[in-house]
Amino acid sequence: MIRINFSNIMKDSIGKEGLLKGDFKKVNIKGINEIIASKKYPELDFLNLPYEDTSAVKEMGRYARGFDYFLLLGIGGSALGPRSILESMSPFHNLRSKSGVFIYDNVDPATLKNILNLIDLKKTSINVITKSGSTAETIASFMIIYQKLKDENLKPEDHLIVTTDPERGNLRKIVNDYGLKSLPIASGVVGRYSVLSPVGLLLAEVIGVNSDDVLKGAKDIHERCMNPKLWENPAYLFSSGLYLLKKLKKRNVTVMVPYADRLKSFSEWFCQLWAESLCKDGKGLTPYPSIGTTDQHSQLQAWMEGPKDKVVVFLSIEDYGADIEMPDVFSKMEGLGYLSGHTLAELIKIEQEATELALTKNGRPNITIKVPVIDAYHLGQLFHFFEIATAVTGFLYGINPFNQPGVEEGKNLTYGMMGKKGYEAKKEEFERYRKGKKLEL
Ligand code: PA5
């Protein structure tokens, strides 16, 4: 079970920049319990995902494993969760395995060209993921791949697996009209809370990870995070701590630092969840992705001595599942020999804790999440823990953690310029803007 140590956000540890137990009385936990119990938000359906049956996803996984390549088309919550499963569960996958897995989550033409040069469509299953069924980036790549399948005289229905809303959206209509294979994303569940649905679980199965293990981890942390008592609920304490550190100490940046390369994409997954859910109406907390120890030589200076606006969240790994000892070379050289006989796991763990202590001594708030080992079970716990903590933090701010109104205007302007019906005024506005950009050297 993951464990969360909150000591270093408290006054006892970090002095005047920390919180007192009494400060937590300002948090309206009763209100949070009421929101969760009332099911006011249908999007809270993500709480049911750990209990879903996985037989359909497993069957589809078996089907997709019959191909040499797996290409995922999706963006945002429809790509970041799958990518963090791929990179944490099967690092260097394409070099180590005979199957190749590619995630195309952009509309960069050079990337798609490269992918198409590396794969053979005849031997590829393609998972198109979009909850809404209308995201321009995903639909654009889907259209291209669909036509390429046709050009190669392949049957799209043999290669495509569509993951989308069970009833609504253009893609569901295409599934029905063209007889494509599909998996549902429960209608209440929105993109960034969907990793424990077929969105993430199909890829897990494709790379040989048992999706039941991921869900078991999520289930095991679920009850703890539903406990109505603040001091017994790690998600409530995490949310309340960060909420109070902003309110009382102006700490508005959340730095996510896993001490494991395999969790780099997890850090990006977290940042999307945190940013789209919480940064609204000028409120909320800004996420900042990082990685230890690498960023000790890049960002640590900012956390230690920069503006006092950050809370650092460490993911500390107890067992790396591998270790390497530093050999007895250069041991006579003063200043280097001390490393011989120690191991890399020892070094990375000590560096994490040393950074934690250094920040603490400097009055910089930090939280450490201890992860026993990076496996499917604990990854499921991390996903579910952070999803609950994010929703709860949103409720504390009185904002809806499930929408993302801030991304709409850019989309509408793009629709205008790309000629979508109904967006003609946006096109005009865009063109006026272009003409007005005079200051260019
Ligand atoms: O969290 C969200 O809802 C968004 O980030 C979506 O995941 C993203 O916009 C992609 O949406 P869709 O899955 O509908 O294509």
Indicate the CATH number of 46-211 among 3.40.50.10490, 3.50.50.60, 2.60.40.420, 3.20.20.70. Answer: 3.40.50.10490
CA distance 65 to 60: 9
Which sequence spans correspond to the domains of the chain? 3-37+214-397, 46-211
CA distance 337 to 320: 24
- The count of other CB atoms within 10 Å of the CB of residue 111 is 14
For β-strands 160-164 and 100-104, DSSP reports them as unpaired
Q: What pLDDT shows up at residue 40?
A: 84
CA of 428 to the centre of ligand 1 (A): 27
**Nearest residue CA, atom 3 of ligand 1?**
191
Q: Please, what are the averages of pLDDT over each run of 10 residues along the chain (441 residues)?
A: 97 98 95 90 96 98 98 98 98 91 98 97 98 96 98 98 97 97 97 98 98 98 95 97 97 98 98 97 94 96 97 98 94 86 97 98 98 98 98 95 93 94 95 89 87
Q: What pLDDT shows up at residue 196?
A: 98
CA 225, 231, 235 angle in degrees (round to 5)? 30
Site residues for ligand 1, CB cut-off 6 Å: 75-78, 130-132, 135, 138, 190-192, 276
**Nearest residue CA, atom 12 of ligand 1?**
130
Coil/strand/helix, residue 214: helix
**Nearest residue CA, atom 2 of ligand 1?**
191
CA distance 228 to 35: 11
- 362 CB contacts (<8 Å, ≥6 apart)? 304, 305
Tell me whether domains 3-37+214-397 and 46-211 share a fold. yes
CA distance 37 to 114: 48
176 CA to centre of own chain: 30
**Nearest residue CA, atom 6 of ligand 1?**
191
Q: Please identify, by atom number, the ligand 1 atom nearest to the C-alpha of residue 192.
A: 1
CA of 318 to the centre of ligand 1 (A): 33
Sign of CA dihedral 377, 379, 382, 388: negative
- The catalytic site residues sit at 276, 297, 411
CA of 52 to the centre of ligand 1 (A): 21
- Whole-structure pTM value: 0.97
Q: Please identify, by atom number, the ligand 1 atom nearest to the C-alpha of residue 273.
A: 1
Q: What are phi and psi of 129, to 5 degrees?
A: -120, 120
Q: What is the CATH number of domain 3-37+214-397?
A: 3.40.50.10490
- Nearest CA to 41 out of 168, 167, 187, 170 is that of 187
